[in-house]
Amino acid sequence: MEDKLDLNTGWQKIITILEERVSKPTIKTWFSNVVPLQILNGILQLEVPNKLVKNWLENKFHVILLKTAKEVFKELKSIEYIISSNEVKKTRIRKYLFSQKITIFEVSPSTNLNPKYTFENFVVGSNNELAFAAAQGVVNNLGEKFNPLFIWGGVGLGKTHLLQAIGNEIVKKYSTTKKVRYATTEQFTNELINTLKNQNIEEFRQKFREVDVLILDDVHFLSGKTKSQEELFHTFNELYNARKQIVFSSDRPPKMIPDIEERLQSRFEGGLVIDITPPDFETRFAILRLKNQERAYYLPDYILEIIAQKITKNIRELEGALNYTAFKLRSLKDATPEKIETLIKEYQRHNIKTISPKKILKIVAEFYNIKEEDLTKKIRKKELIKPRQVAMYLLREIGKLSYNSIGELLNKRDHTTVLYSCEKIEKEIQESFDLFQEIEVLKNRILNE
């Protein structure tokens, strides 16, 4: 058996090597409470805090952990994970300390970046690992690999975090040799309007064209804005031809952004287009563990598990549930799983948005670049068939309206027509990935805007 000091020293070496192979947030989330016990008959015994961590290490990290451990302990054969006998009883909760220091992050005036967004505190999971890898590829191969990089996904999934992390990593890596500019597309458009009013367009162009890296968030905001699209098109060409790096984000893929010039859409699609999807349970739990540590809430894992199980849509809602639960727990002496679930239900009730039929019709009309009244008028045009059928499907799926109610809403259409439309869209979603994506984008906008 290895000496205790040697074992601890060896374990630190293992962690150091692992930090070069997996992300630091992953190490912080899953290995911070793992304790090496002993090496017995060639088996490294590790104490883990609970069953969830045990399952995660066995299923996700066992191969790489064993390989790394063998590099440090040459005679090692296997690893055994042992759940701690000191696991906190789940029927009671200690008084938590809410003494975290609030760190003020100031946005840099030269780059418009917020330094709180980094690769180190971005939790990587199966839902975003390709986007994360692409982001790192951009940093290491500016203007050469994945140019432009176009990341799309729903509200609250981490697009802004990843885009700003790219910018902050470039600033850190290249110091003052690379000029970076981050902006939301709304900022880009508003600045353009102001410069046109003040007749100083050259100042605007200098700001966005004399950079080494341009990062533009939420480019779906360009929909219908002809002058902004034209300006971005020429800005793109100038930067791209100079082999400067460009990064975009949107709530949908380029081909689904309505009322946008084809030439600009082709520029968006000219590099790598990659999506971020909602996080799975393991990733949600990892995010909660990281936020729990950052904010010094000291909530035990079983509470985080319940939150991760109940909150599934996006990261913003996940963080909101964590904050709400931590706040409420200050006045509770007992925190049984049942009480925690009650708190989560309370939080969800506070955050339920009433989805009106008008909102659904408005978003569908905007998405397909038609007038809202075109969905309800009895106009027989081929280009209106699909938007109407999609609207009926979403009124049923999200609005929970009856077929008769949908028929009444859409100018007294027969309920059998509505039924046919809903079933048709349901079937086509299974057969057409493009339509599936359209419906998911629409759902996300309806539920989160």
- Closest listed residue to residue 26, CA positions, set 88, 100, 119, 156: 119
Residue 258: its pLDDT value, please?
83
- Give the position of tokens 């590790």: 46
Residue 265: its pLDDT value, please?
92
Domain annotation covers residue 377: yes
- In which domain, by residue range, is 160 found? 129-276
Q: Is 181 found in the same domain as 160?
A: yes
CATH number at 366 reads 1.10.1750.10
What pLDDT digit, counting tens, does each position of 135-151 carry? 999 999 999 889 999 99
* pLDDT surpassing 50 at residue 1: no
Q: Are 102 and 305 in contact (CB under 8 A)?
A: no
Q: Is 379 found in the same domain as 271?
A: no
- Closest listed residue to residue 397, CA positions, set 444, 328, 349: 444
DSSP 203: H
Q: What value does the mean pLDDT of the chain take?
A: 85
Q: Is 367 found in the same domain as 254?
A: no
Domain annotation covers residue 118: no
Q: Is 336 found in the same domain as 272?
A: no
Q: Are 225 and 193 in contact (CB under 8 A)?
A: no
Domain-terminating residue out of 294, 329, 351: 351
CA distances from 356 to 314, 367, 396 (A): 22, 17, 12
The first and second tokens of residue 420, run together, are: 């046919």
CATH number at 63 reads 3.30.300.180
Q: Is 363 found in the same domain as 335?
A: no
CATH number at 343 reads 1.10.8
* Count of structural domains, the chain: 4
Biggest CA pair distance of the chain: 83
Domain annotation covers residue 26: yes
pTM of the model: 0.66
Q: Is 344 found in the same domain as 298?
A: yes
Tell me the range of 175-179, 197-201, 203-207, 428-432 where mean pLDDT is highest: 203-207
Domain annotation covers residue 88: no
The distance from CA 338 to its chain's CA centroid, rounded to whole angstroms, is 29
Q: Is 269 found in the same domain as 159?
A: yes
Q: Is 305 found in the same domain as 271?
A: no
Domain annotation covers residue 92: no
Residue 413: its pLDDT value, please?
67
Torsion (CA) 264, 267, 273, 277 in degrees, nearest 10: -20
Rounded distance between C-alpha atoms, residue 322 and residue 284, angstroms: 11
Q: Is 268 found in the same domain as 139?
A: yes
Domain annotation covers residue 120: no
Q: Is 139 found in the same domain as 258?
A: yes
Domain annotation covers residue 90: no
Torsion (CA) 432, 264, 237, 128 in degrees, nearest 10: -40
Q: What is the DSSP string of 132-171?
A: HHHHHHHHHSTTTSSSSEEEEE-TTSSHHHHHHHHHHHHH
441 band by pLDDT with thresholds 50, 70 and 90 = confident
- Closest listed residue to residue 210, CA positions, set 244, 187, 172: 244
Q: How wide is the angle at C-alpha 150 spanned by C-alphas 140 and 239, nearest 5°?
A: 70
Q: Burial letters for 380-403: b for 16+ Cβ neighbours within 10 Å, e otherwise?
A: eeeebebbbbbbbbbbbbbbebeb
Q: Is 255 found in the same domain as 190?
A: yes
Domain-terminating residue out of 251, 276, 301: 276
